[in-house]
Amino acid sequence: MNILGIESSCDETAAAVVSYKRGRFLVLSNVVASQVKLHAKTGGVVPEVAARQHAEVIVPIIERALRAAKIKKPDVIAVTHGPGLITSLRIGVDAARALAAAWDVPLVGVNHLEGHIYANWLHDQLHHSYHKKEVQFPALALIVSGGHTELVLMRQHLDYKIIGATRDDAVGEAFDKVAKLLGLGYPGGPLISRRAEKGNPRAIDFPRAMLNKQNFDFSFSGLKTAVLYYLRDLQVTSYKPQTKDDVCASFEEAVVDVLVQKTTRAAKQYGVKTVMIGGGVAANKHLRESLGEAVKKQLPVTLYSLPVTDFTTDNAAMIAAVGALHASRKHFIPWQKIQADPNLSL
């Protein structure tokens, strides 16, 4: 079965073709057009520009994905129908609707968060020789991105239970806002990690919120404010490079510390066989390594799964993969009925 995936929930317009055979996914094509550079210029998203940009590129991107996969028409279309920026989501949903009607191909709606989890199952031709161990259930997924921070327990495929989430800001949002406080630019994640490598993670003792609570919820709003107050108390107008590096390192350390501790604690409590990670912040090297070490040390029989870095940020291959599973369970939505839902829950 060949699935065409379409994703346009935020900054990326993406299309991909994934083939699904005997329970395995193979990414035949994966095309992403990002607006990050465009938004870096203005320092933020311009919503009608975002929507217009998605509208302009979505057709050529779908064409490229089909051509690269050497197929004319897929067996199923899978589209992200939420959560996300409403105006952006609609472009993808409308394109999927039009193609489903024109081709008479069944359509499935995918939650963006499922996509980030299923990035862990993806192999592409480049990584074909890379033998990835199979994810075993029950599994725990830590989803960390600009808009999300969630711990999701999965007892089987497509079965999700959110056992913890942020109460205020998402991790990626905290990275972006701290980068802005330091005048580093947008998007903040990669810029902070780069500086963090040169800084001292123990220079400043930033708060680790919610660590003493027995639940699996997170809070990053206070950490952002702690960075703001630390910088304000320095009473200078510009920061020395060393100060910036130390703030970045100490901030990243505080974030990773909380994520790793809560994830390993949840993994133990639920006795999971796999710990996985997904979302844009899953590209953060320090988080990938620290969580890996913690799982190895504290949960030696648990598998630690990381998506290939290309599949951590928003892409349509992960949407197509989830779409394949929904299609095999006949979770089809008639093209007349599919709706973009900015608050769609898992």
Q: Which of 196, 146, 192 is nearest to 171 (CA)?
A: 146
Q: Which is nearer to other proteins, 149 or 250 (CB)?
A: 149
At its nearest, how many Å lie between other proteins and the CB of residue 125?
32
In the complex, the residues that contact other proteins under the rule CB under 8 A are: 10, 39, 42-49, 51, 83-87, 90, 146-147, 165-170, 172-173, 176-177, 180-181, 221, 224-225, 228-229, 232, 342-343
Q: Which is nearer to other proteins, 66 or 318 (CB)?
A: 318
At its nearest, how many Å lie between other proteins and the CB of residue 166?
6
Q: Which is nearer to other proteins, 148 or 244 (CB)?
A: 148
Q: Give the Cα separation of 120 and 272 in Å (integer).
A: 16
Q: Which is nearer to other proteins, 19 or 166 (CB)?
A: 166
Q: Which is nearer to other proteins, 47 or 185 (CB)?
A: 47
What are the phi and psi torsion angles at 65 (to 5°)? -65, -40
Q: Give the Cα separation of 140 and 19 in Å (integer).
A: 25
Q: Which residue has the tokens 């929930």?
A: 9
At its nearest, how many Å lie between other proteins and the CB of residue 343?
6
Q: At what angle do helices 241-270 and 188-196 cross, to 10 degrees?
A: 100
At its nearest, how many Å lie between other proteins and the CB of residue 6?
19
CA of 20: how far to CAs of 25, 30, 166, in Å? Answer: 5, 15, 34
Q: Give the Cα separation of 195 and 180 in Å (integer).
A: 14
At its nearest, how many Å lie between other proteins and the CB of residue 312?
16
At its nearest, how many Å lie between other proteins and the CB of residue 150?
11
**Order of strands, sheet of 149-154, starting from the edge strand that comes earlier in the sequence:** 161-165, 149-154, 139-144, 274-278, 303-305
- Name the amino acid, one letter, at 95: A
Residues in the chain: 346
Q: Which is nearer to other proteins, 89 or 108 (CB)?
A: 89
Q: Which is nearer to other proteins, 123 or 148 (CB)?
A: 148
Q: Give the Cα separation of 264 and 270 in Å (integer).
A: 10
Q: Which is nearer to other proteins, 86 or 303 (CB)?
A: 86
Structure tokens at 204: 């400043």
Could you tell me which residues come within 8 angstroms of residue 307 by beta carbon, excluding any fewer than 6 positions away?
119, 120, 122, 276, 277, 278, 282, 318
At its nearest, how many Å lie between other proteins and the CB of residue 326?
22
Q: Give the Cα separation of 340 and 125 in Å (integer).
A: 32
Q: Which pairing describes strands 139-144 and 149-154: parallel, antiparallel, or unpaired?
A: antiparallel
Q: Which is nearer to other proteins, 325 or 344 (CB)?
A: 344
At its nearest, how many Å lie between other proteins and the CB of residue 338?
17
Q: Report whether the peptide linkage leading into residue 138 is cis, meaning its omega lies within 30 degrees of zero.
A: yes
At its nearest, how many Å lie between other proteins and the CB of residue 237?
16
Greatest distance between any 2 Cα atoms in the chain: 64
